[in-house]
Amino acid sequence: MEINHYELKYGEFGETIGVQINLRGFDILRFNNISKGTAFTIEEKIKFKLSGFLPPRVKTLEEQVQSSLNIIDKKESAIEKFIYIRSLYDRNVVLAHAVIASDVTKFLPIIYTPTVGLACQQYSAMFRRPSGIHFFPDNIDYAEYILQNYTDKDIRVAVVTDNQGILGIGDQGAGGLPICLGKLMLYTQGAGIAPWHCLPISLDVGTDNQELLNDPNYLGWRHKRLTGKVYYTFIEKFVIAFKKVFPHALCQWEDFSKQTAFTVRDKYIKEVISFNDDVQGTGSVAVAGILAAMKVKKEKMTDQVYLVNGAGAGGVGIADQIQTELVEQGLNKKDAIARIFTMDSRGIVTTDRELEPYKVKFAKDPKTLTWLKTSKDNTLLNAVKNEKVTILIGTSGQPGQFTKEIVQAACKNSDRPVILPLSNPTTKAEALPKDVYEWSNGKALVATGSPFDPVHHNGKDYRIGQMNNSFVFPGIGLGVVASGATEVLPIFFSAASHAVAEFISKDDLKDGILFPPLDQFRKVSLEVAKRVGAEAIKANVTQKDCAFSKFKHNNDPERLNTLVDKMCWDPQYLDIV
């Protein structure tokens, strides 16, 4: 049978066990999924007509990794290290992932937040080789044809962005694709979903970033951003094509902005297997941190008062997941919502304002806020003081908003207030952890959205837990794929929250640390996947057999657990035939 360049071979668990190639000579080296670079053996060089195209020395993968680490260590900046790893990925996928896996804690901040934000801003200048798919108004009518002709055919997860709400830096036009690339690298590192099952997609509908429109080197569709009916027609065309070509694949919506994030997620939740990580993943990981904090405080979530400072997609997503958890813990919906306050640039969100639909749910009747006499009273400090806030969450993207006064006001409401400055990148954090420790005399329980160095307080170093979505979304994706779930249910995110919270060691909880270390990333992801798969089975939303495996789990959670463990990919070179 004629094959197109190469065809992957799978075992009974859907794991990749080898590759059959229809290539010889230098052409093999052009495909990053199958190239081994200097690791091709002498026998392979002869067999596949590679002799002469590579130097005589044969290196092991371990030797290649060490050589790459030596080069990376000489790079002076994080963005230079990012560029090297991406270029390595473009040449040799296995080696790039083996390098990352050698020290996940070191490399996650380089391949994803905060460095990926710089990569988005410099995307046009950094572009070297195509990665993923760019849809724009001039080619969206051919979306099905383009997807069918993508090199990798067995797509299991796609990360799709419209580039508008990128990681605290806003509209980046075509520059959002590195976010998708980074998220998919985390799917591979965390959940073991092999790179050839991952597809990054940019929905380039233009940009309102005038700096990009004025840049002669800008590579995107050089028009103002589509809006309204034209925008949603564009999205509809993509969804129809994606569903037809990859009917069993998971579609993760990424960095859509504000109302659009909710509209697109809700419209297609039954059409494609999909979720929005900024909304649901952020909510899930935030609740994981809060559940851990309750273990430290030895208190109940139902007794806390929550304020989310930053009522964008992520902030409202957190509020949503908190409300879901409060209801699961016994509150009715009305009482749960009453304990959650959201705040935007105009203060506490209230019902007497004209609001975008996604903000309405948590808007407060101003008559119930007796301390709110005039608009000047509607400040974060007054809200924390008067509503007796015990859990303060920052998603505003505005640095320095959690001041000394505000932290100390929270300390008067609780012996151990929970302070979560989550905005990315690091420069956007609402407060620095070291300041929160100092202002609260070490009482505050702190986690951040970006990585921070440990804080030295009262003669001891405290690791700062990172409330990183990567603790939940890779495992959720693997749980969906492994179980053959036909939709992504809200309970999946609750299951993920509890799985992450239960993974924190007793010693870390004793020190008030709210998240596992990043070197536990893979273990956490697999546990999340098993919990999510079990919920899919319980909810009866699974296909009879996993779409990507001959292994029949027959809706048996134990057999599903075996499948999750066995289908995970580790960066090792494939056998080539």
Going by the DSSP 8-state scheme, the letter that residue 170 receives in this structure is B
| Alpha carbon distance 277, 295 (integer Å) | 26
| Alpha carbon distance 226, 210 (integer Å) | 14
Q: Which of 6, 84, 112, 437 does the annotation list as catalytic? A: 112
How many other C-beta atoms are found inside a 10 Å radius of the C-beta of residue 117? Answer: 26
The C-alpha angle 398, 403, 405, rounded to 5 degrees, equals 150
The C-alpha angle 474, 477, 478, rounded to 5 degrees, equals 85
Q: Would you list the DSSP string of 513-575?
A: --S--GGGHHHHHHHHHHHHHHHHHHTT-B-SS-TT-S---TT-HHHHHHHHHHH---S-PPP
| Alpha carbon distance 66, 52 (integer Å) | 24
Q: Are 144 and 237 in contact (CB under 8 A)?
A: no
Host H or E run for residue 418: strand 418-421
Q: Would you list the DSSP string of 225-259?
A: PP-HHHHHHHHHHHHHHHHHH-TT-EEEEES--HH
Going by the DSSP 8-state scheme, the letter that residue 431 receives in this structure is S
| Alpha carbon distance 478, 192 (integer Å) | 8
Q: Which residues, other chains included, contact 345 with Cβ-Cβ below 8 Å and sequence gap of 6+?
A: none
Q: Which of 36, 81, 183, 443 does the annotation list as catalytic? A: 183
What's the burial of 415, exposed, middle or buried (CB within 10 Å: 0-12/13-18/19+)? exposed
Question: Distance of CA 330 to CAs 196, 317, 327, 486, Å?
Answer: 44, 20, 5, 29
Host H or E run for residue 120: helix 115-121
Strand-pair partners of 251: 158, 274
Strands 16-21 vs 6-10: parallel, antiparallel or unpaired:
antiparallel
Q: Are 112 and 470 in contact (CB under 8 A)?
A: yes
Q: Are 201 and 159 in contact (CB under 8 A)?
A: yes
Main-chain phi, psi angles of 46, to 5 degrees: -70, -50
Strand-pair partners of 282: none
Distance from the Cα of residue 376 to its chain's centroid = 37
Q: Are 274 and 252 in contact (CB under 8 A)?
A: yes
183 is catalytic: yes
Question: Distance of CA 186 to CAs 97, 137, 194, 288, Å?
Answer: 10, 30, 11, 19
Q: Closest Cα to residue 497, out of 464, 462, 535?
A: 535
Catalytic annotation, residues? 112, 183
